[in-house]
Amino acid sequence: MDNNQINIVNATENNLKNVSIQIPKNKLVVVAGVSGSGKSSLIFDTLATEASREWQNSYSLYIRNKLPHYQRPNVELIENLTPSIIVKQQQIGQNGRSSVGTIVDVAPLLRLLFSRVGIPSAGGSMSYSKNHPAGMCPICTGLGTVQVLDEDSLFDMEKTLNEGAIQFSAFRAGWQNNIYTTNGLLNPDKRLKDFTNEELQILRDGTETSLQIEIRSNKTGRVDHVDYEGVIPRFKRLYLKRDISKLKGKLRDEIYEHITTEKCEVFGGTGLNEKALASKINNFNIVDMMRLPVENLLPEIGQITDAEVGH
């Protein structure tokens, strides 16, 4: 067998019809063809799937149970495979929590490794995940960035509340508009620049003590009692404490007009909390290892001799 090539014999995955091929190793190889010719079935569903399956078989049963499961593709024989990294064809979704490590499954393996031999231990593998409450930074909730509100941009000081002085459409319509125009605390026909400091404080930040107000529906006349909340804390609660990228349409675009995205300065913008970052292997924490080039990462991992790795 020629060790310088991958040998695929009688592949029948999906639309493949007994395809046999030799693919040279250590070269840049392009597989081209018309749509539906079987390119993806050969490379992704056959070669890459079998490479991932064989790679996982080298781990203990305990670790394999923690990883994605791959079924053997429909192929008579594949020889001389090596581990592969799969970059999927479909566009990656707009998710601020995704990274190269999560996409190629390296991150779950490193989290598992640190949960076994990291000193001091942060706990289970999810204690090293920025996407889990046990591991995420409490300030940026794992995103690595924080949204900073331009508070003054929410107000037009030349207008009254009835004229649309609040420069955010969701707060100028329906019952949310009534919170500020019918609360009995503020004159909706008075320009904001003529408000007293106390009135501006109530509008912007709310009242010092909890206060319930009556809200009347413009359509039905129904009266409800709600807690009064200033424009700024309401905006922050509804829109800054969530992943804005998941919102769609005009609302998301309008929110971005009032905020800037900045790196979270707590724990270096890693998205992880102090406990996760304090855990180290060979003087590297999990972020340090994820940032290492592969040619440097593999020798570092090779130095680990702790018996827990195999369990």
DSSP, residue by residue, 11-28: E-STT--SEEEEEESSS-
Q: Report the C-alpha dihedral over residues 266, 271, 272, 274, rounded to 10 degrees.
A: 0
Q: How confident is the model at residue 308 (pLDDT cuts 50, 70, 90)?
A: low
Say what percent of the chain tops pLDDT 90. Answer: 37
CB 115 within 8 A of CB 309: no
Q: How confident is the model at residue 100 (pLDDT cuts 50, 70, 90)?
A: very low
pTM for this model (two decimals)? 0.54
Q: Which two tokens stand for residue 194?
A: 């003529």
Residue 260 has pLDDT above 80, yes or no: yes
Q: How many CB atoms are located within 10 Å of the residue 78 CB? A: 19
Residue 48 has pLDDT above 50, yes or no: yes
How do residues 177-232 score in pLDDT, each as one tens digit?
Answer: 888 998 888 999 999 999 999 999 999 999 888 888 777 666 776 777 888 899 99
Long-range Cβ pairs for the range 231-235 (8 Å, 24+): 231/154, 231/155, 231/166, 231/168, 231/171, 231/180, 231/203, 231/204, 232/149, 232/151, 232/154, 232/204, 232/205, 233/205, 233/206, 234/171, 235/149, 235/154, 235/168, 235/171
Q: What is the mean pLDDT of the chain?
A: 85
9-29 mean pLDDT: 90
Q: How confident is the model at residue 98 (pLDDT cuts 50, 70, 90)?
A: very low
Give the ranges where the chain is alpha helix by DSSP (H). 39-42, 49-57, 61-64, 100-103, 106-117, 174-181, 197-205, 231-235, 249-256, 274-278, 286-291, 294-302
Q: Distance between CA 264 and CA 288 in Å, rounded?
A: 18
How do residues 141-157 score in pLDDT, each as one tens digit?
Answer: 888 888 899 999 999 99
Count CA atoms within 13 Å of residue 229 on its CB side.
14
User: Hunting for tokens 């993806």 — which residue is that?
Assistant: 40
Residue 99 has pLDDT above 70, yes or no: no
Collapsing DSSP to helix, strand or coil, 238 comes out as helix
Say what percent of the chain tops pLDDT 70. Answer: 89
Q: Which pLDDT score, from 0 to 100, does residue 218 have?
A: 65
Q: Distance between CA 172 and CA 240 in Å, rounded?
A: 19
Q: Distance between CA 187 and CA 43 in Å, rounded?
A: 68
User: Hunting for tokens 């420069």 — which residue is that?
Assistant: 167
Beta bridge partners of 5: 24
Q: Which pLDDT score, from 0 to 100, does residue 90 have?
A: 54
The region of weakest confidence among 34-38, 99-103, 278-282, 283-287 is: 99-103
Q: Which pLDDT score, from 0 to 100, does residue 244 have?
A: 74
How do residues 261-293 score in pLDDT, each as one tens digit?
Answer: 889 988 989 999 999 999 999 899 999 988 888
How do residues 153-168 score in pLDDT, each as one tens digit?
Answer: 999 999 999 999 999 9
Q: Which pLDDT score, from 0 to 100, does residue 146 have?
A: 86
How do residues 59-75 score in pLDDT, each as one tens digit?
Answer: 777 777 777 778 889 99
C-alpha 30 chain-centroid distance = 32
User: Hunting for tokens 């566009």 — which residue is that?
Assistant: 91
Q: Which pLDDT score, from 0 to 100, does residue 62 have?
A: 76
Residue 101 has pLDDT above 60, yes or no: no
Beta bridge partners of 146: 262
User: Hunting for tokens 């007009």 — which residue is that?
Assistant: 257
Q: Distance between CA 276 and CA 268 in Å, rounded?
A: 13
User: Hunting for tokens 């349409």 — which residue is that?
Assistant: 249
The region of weakest confidence among 17-31, 32-46, 216-230 is: 216-230
Q: Which pLDDT score, from 0 to 100, does residue 307 have?
A: 57
Q: Distance between CA 140 and CA 263 in Å, rounded?
A: 9
pLDDT greater at residue 170 or residue 94? 170
174-179 mean pLDDT: 85
